[in-house]
Every structure is written in C-alpha cells, then in structure tokens.
Amino acid sequence: MIKLLQFPRPPREWNVSNFSAFCMKVETYLKMAELPYEVVDVIDPRKMPKGKLPVIDDGGKIVPDSGFIIEHLKSAYGDKLDAKLSEHDRALGHSVRRMLEEHLYFILLYYRWEWEPGWSLTKDNFFKALPGPVRPLVRNLVRKSQVKKVEESGIGRHPQEDILKIGYADVECVSRLLEDRTFLFGQEPTSFDATLYAFLASLISVPVESPLKLKTLGLSNITAYVKRVRDRYFA
Ligand SMILES: N[C@@H](CCC(=O)N[C@@H](CS)C(=O)NCC(=O)O)C(=O)O
C-alpha cells in the first residue's frame, strides 16, 4: 500500500488533516483519486530526500515533493481526475497552483510563524510530538528558519496591512475563478482542487485568526467550497 509520510496530525480543533498544506494536498489527492494509503508520521523533515514533507513510499519507490508525487501517482495508477481537462484549463490550473504554492504559501507561513498571535498557537500545537526537554530549543530554531524563509521571500519585508492586501488579492482571484462551481473546473474534482482545498483550508479552517482569514470568510463561495470538500473527503 502507498505510504504517505507527513507531519503528525494536528489537534482536532485545527480542522485540517495536517499542519502542512503540501501534505494536505497529497492526502486530498489520494482521497479524490480513491487510492488506498496509510499515513506514516515523520517529525523531522531534514531526514527526507529533499529535506521536506510530504514524501511517499510506493512499494519501495520513494517520491518526495507533492508535485512529483502526484505525477508519479498519475503514471502508476492512471489519471482519471485530470483526463478530461482541456489544455486551457490545465494551464489555468497550473497558474492557480503556482500562485497558491509559491506565493500565498509564504503569507500563510508569515501568519503562523512570524505574526505573534499565530506563533503562540503554532508554538503550543506543532511541536507536541517532540520530547518535552528538547521542545523549547527546537521550536526556537524552527521558528527562526521559517521566519528567515518569509523574510527572504520578500513577504516579510512588507508592513502588515500590505501583507493582508497582497494575500487577499490571491484569495479574491481564486474566488472569481471558482464562481459558483462545485469544483474549480466543474462538477468533478481535478488534481488542482487538491491544492486549492489544501491552501484555502489552511487559511480559513485553522484557529489562527489572521486578518486574512477574517477577510476571506466574507467570500461565501470560498467558505462553501472548503466545507464541501471537507465534508466529502474528510468527514
Ligand atoms: N515543493 C514542496 C514543498 C514542500 C514543503 O515546503 N514542505 C514544508 C512543510 S509545508 C517542509 O517540509 N518544510 C520543512 C523545512 O523546510 O525545513 C512540495 O510540493 O512538496
């Protein structure tokens, strides 16, 4: 059976299957594609081939990176989710995916690791699987490295009101593209919905009450979409 290596699950009140949107993306894809899998908890991503999670172990074949994982799953088990997509929709899906994974991602990191109210929740919840004595040291080191990523991405150089503005522009763009459809491209999910759900839920379902979350909750098609995917695949 496919093994999905990911961070240990967050507490129930986080309302998401993983702290990491990339891990959620792969798990959502596996569910949408109806591929059986089991989860393996990994505490230290530095031991992974690319130093990051998620990774899958598919019968001994180790595949890191959510994008390459989905490519592998498509070629090994067929591509029923995306088979009917037009070239135009594939290109559009690709652009949306990149916007969320390579841009909105750093804004989510900012609100969880740098913004103090978010950090106080991350600090108390993300490190629970670590043995007590090493916890304070590790969490400070990890925070430092996450904040460095936010700064180096350029997001952390903006004042807070601009971070909200920049993040909301992404979410509003998704809302306009989604309109009132069930999934991004119609009645049935595609692999792009795995990314969309993972990043939107990571923003609005978790208890980090960021200004971006509060503003996004005003977009009714986004909140309905997140609820719909969650009810269908993670009930
Ligand atoms: N491009 C990768 C990104 C994965 C990623 O950034 N994972 C983060 C968690 S959200 C991670 O493992 N970070 C650990 C680190 O950078 O030390 C993918 O699509 O899987």
Top mutation candidate among 22, 48, 127 for ligand 1, by most atoms within 8 Å of CB: 22
- The string of pLDDT tens digits covering residues 1-41 is 999 999 999 999 999 999 999 999 999 999 999 999 999 99
Distance (Å, whole) CA 110 – CA 69: 26
- The string of pLDDT tens digits covering residues 192-228 is 999 999 999 999 999 999 999 999 999 999 999 999 9
> Which CA distances in Å does 234 have to 16, 46, 84, 156, 226?
9, 28, 25, 33, 11
Distance (Å, whole) CA 204 – CA 229: 13
Length of the chain: 235
Atom of ligand 1 nearest to the CA of 145: 17
- The string of pLDDT tens digits covering residues 43-88 is 999 999 999 999 999 999 999 999 999 999 999 999 999 999 999 9
- Give ligand 1 pocket residues (Cβ under 6 A): 20, 22, 45, 51-54, 65-67
pTM for the structure as a whole: 0.97
Return the pLDDT at 55. 98
